[in-house]
Amino acid sequence: MAPASDSAVEEPSLANTGAVMKSLSDLVVQNGNGVHVRCRDDGLKDTKAGIEIKIMSDLGTESNGVAAHTNTNDIRCEGYVPYAVKLVEQRPPGILGMGTANPPHTYKMDEFAKILAKPEFNGPPGAEVFVDRICKASGIKKKHTAVTADEVYAGYPNIYNFGEPSLDDRFKLFEKQGMNISIECSERALKDWGGDRSAITHLIVFSSTGMLTPAIDYRLLEALNLSPNVKHYFVSFLGCHGGVIGLRTACEIAEADPKHRVLIVCTELSSVQAQNIDPAFTRLNNIVTLTIFGDGAGAVVVGQPSKTEVPFFEMIRCKSTIIPNTSKSISVMITQHGLDANLEKDVPKNVSSSTGVFMKSLLDEFGLDFASVGWAAHPGGKPILDAIEKVCGLLPDQLENSRSVLENKGNMSSASVFFVLDEFRKKGRVAGRDWTVALGFGPGISIEGVLLRNIYH
C-alpha cells in the first residue's frame, strides 16, 4: 500500500512580510478535505471545516486551526504570515486498523463472588458478603481471565496465599498467556488495516500487569513477521490511560512523516496480579481490584491515510493533564508479592469533577460541546461513569459503549479504550454525532484525551 505522498508546493509569492495572506483556495482545492497548510510564524486563524491549517513557528512548534468555513473557495488566512513555506498534501493521522482479543476463560460475576467466597479461598468471616456486594455494585456481568482461581489455587500456592513472594510466578504466567492475546489482537489489527505489514515502521507495546525481557515488542516483531528494522519499545506500569497515551504517541509519530505506520499494542492480564483477600480482612482494596479488573489486549495501526487507506477515526487533537493533589488516589506498588494497587474511594469524585473542565478545554476550540461528541471513556468502574454522566450532564447513549465494555469485559486497564472505540465503530454513528473523544484515567490522577473525527458510517 503506497504511503501518502508528501508533495511540497513551495509558495515563494507568500514569503513576504504582508499582514494578510489573502486566500488559500487555489492551493486547498487541489485536494479537498484534509490538506494541511504549513506556514511559518503564527496568524492563520481560519480554515474550511474539515481542513486543518498547521501553523509552525520559527522554532518549529506547531499549533492548529480548524474552521467554520464550508466553501472551499473562500478560505482566508487573515493573519500575519511572513513565510508560508509549503503546502503539504497531508491528512490528519487516522486509526487505520484495530483489533482486540481476550483470553479463553470467562467468569460470570455471580459465579466469581461464589468462588472467592469458597472456604478453601481462605475468605475471612464476612468476606463473601462483601465480595458479593462489590460484584453486584461493579456493573460487571462477566469478564475474561487468563488464569482461573482454581489453577492459581492448585498450581501457584504462593500467589494464592496472601502476601507470599510470588512476583516471579506472576510474570511466568504473564509470559505464557500474554503473548497469545498480544499476537491475536495485533493480527486482527493488521488484517483490519489491510496494508502490507512490511510497511509498519514503529511498534510500541504497553502493559501495566507484566514485564518480560526480551519484552513483548521484541517478541512481536518475530511472531508477526514484521521488519527487524521496526523502531520498537515497551512501556511498563503506566496505568489505565496507557491506551490513550498510545494513541497520542502514535498520532505524533504519524504526523512526523506520512510514511510512518505505527502499531500500538496494549496487553493486560490483571488476573495474574490479583491479590487474595487478607485473613484480617483489612485490605478491602484487594477485593475491589480483584473484582473490577479483567484481561484483554487491543491493537491499532495508525498513520496518515494514503489514497487507498480508509481510516475510521481521524485524530484531530491530543490533550493531557493531571489533577493536582491526587498522587495517592490511584497508585500501584511493585512488591515481592506482586502488584499492590491502591484505588482510593475518592477516585470517582475526583475524576468526574475534573473531567468536565478537561473536556471543555479540548472541545471549545472546535466549537464542540459535551452533547456533540461520543464519549469513549475508560470503563474504570461504574461509579466513575455514573459520576461523569451526572456531572457533565450527558445523555445515556453517550457513555453506552463504555458501559457495555465494563459490563461484558470489566476494566481491562490500558487495553480498554480499544474495546470501547471498537464498539463505536461496530454500532455506527450514535445520534448523528461526527466526533468521539477517547478519554483515559491513570495513576495520580492523570487524564488523557484524543479528539477523533468519525469517518465510519
Ligand X SMILES: CC(C)(COP(=O)(O)OP(=O)(O)OC[C@H]1O[C@@H](n2cnc3c(N)ncnc32)[C@H](O)[C@@H]1OP(=O)(O)O)[C@@H](O)C(=O)NCCC(=O)NCCSC(=O)/C=C/c1ccc(O)cc1
What does the binding site for ligand X look like in residue numbers (CB under 6 A)? 133-134, 137-138, 208, 237, 239-240, 284-285, 288, 292, 330, 332, 343-345, 347-348, 380-384, 411, 413, 441-443
Of 248 and 453, CB closest to ligand X: 248
Say whether 285 sits in a helix, a strand or coil.
helix
As measured in angstroms, the least distance from the Cβ of 209 to ligand X is: 7
Neighbouring-strand partners of residue 226: none
Minimal distance in Å, beta carbon 302 to ligand X?
23
Check 39, 77, 135, 240 and give the catalytic one: 240
What CA dihedral angle connects 449, 143, 302 and 311, to 10 degrees? Answer: -90
Q: Shortest approach of ligand X to residue 128 CB, angstroms?
A: 14
How far, in Å, CA of 376 to CA of 95, rounded? Answer: 14
How many other CB atoms are found less than 10 A from the CB of residue 455? Answer: 15
**What letter would DSSP give residue 42?**
S
- Distance, CA of 275 to CA of 150 (rounded, Å): 14
Give the three cell numbers for residue 279. 485473613
When the beta carbons of 150 and 346 are compared against ligand X, the nearer one is: 346
- Tell me the three state secondary structure of residue 269: strand
**103 upstream amide cis, omega within 30 of 0:** no
Burial of 115 (0-12, 13-18, 19+ CB in 10 A): middle
CB of 181 to ligand X, least distance (A): 17
Locate cell 489573502: which residue? 22
Phi, psi of 144 (to 5 degrees): -100, 145
Question: Please, what is the minimum distance in Å from the beta carbon of residue 192 to ligand X?
Answer: 26
In a 13 Å sphere around the CA of 97, the CA atoms on its Cβ side amount to 24
Side chain identity, residue 153: Y
CB atoms within 10 A of CB 63: 12
Pairing between strand 202-207 and 231-236? parallel
Nearer to ligand X by Cβ, of 138 and 267: the residue is 138
Concerning whether 240 is annotated as a catalytic residue, the answer is: yes
Q: How many helices (H) does the chain have, and how many strands (E)?
A: 13, 18
- Least CB distance from residue 339 to ligand X, whole Å? 7
Task: Please identify, using beta-carbon distances, which residue of 253 and 445 lies nearer to ligand X.
Answer: 445
Give the length of the chain: 457
Which residue, 240 or 302, has its beta carbon nearer to ligand X? 240
Nearest residue (CB) to ligand X, 43 versus 380? 380
Query: For residues 193 and 234, which CB has a smaller minimum distance to ligand X in the complex?
Result: 234
Pairwise CA distance, residues 253 & 242, whole Å: 16
Instruction: Dump the DSSP string for 372-389.
Output: GEEEEE----HHHHHHHH
d(CA 377, CA 198): 33
Q: Between 275 and 306, whose beta carbon lies closer to ligand X?
A: 275
Instruction: Provide the minimum distance between the beta carbon of 118 and ligand X in the complex, in angstroms, as a whole number.
Output: 21
- Any residues with CB less than 8 A from the CB of 168 and at least 6 apart, and which? none
Provide the minimum distance between the beta carbon of 260 and ligand X in the complex, in angstroms, as a whole number: 28
Task: List active site positions.
Answer: 240
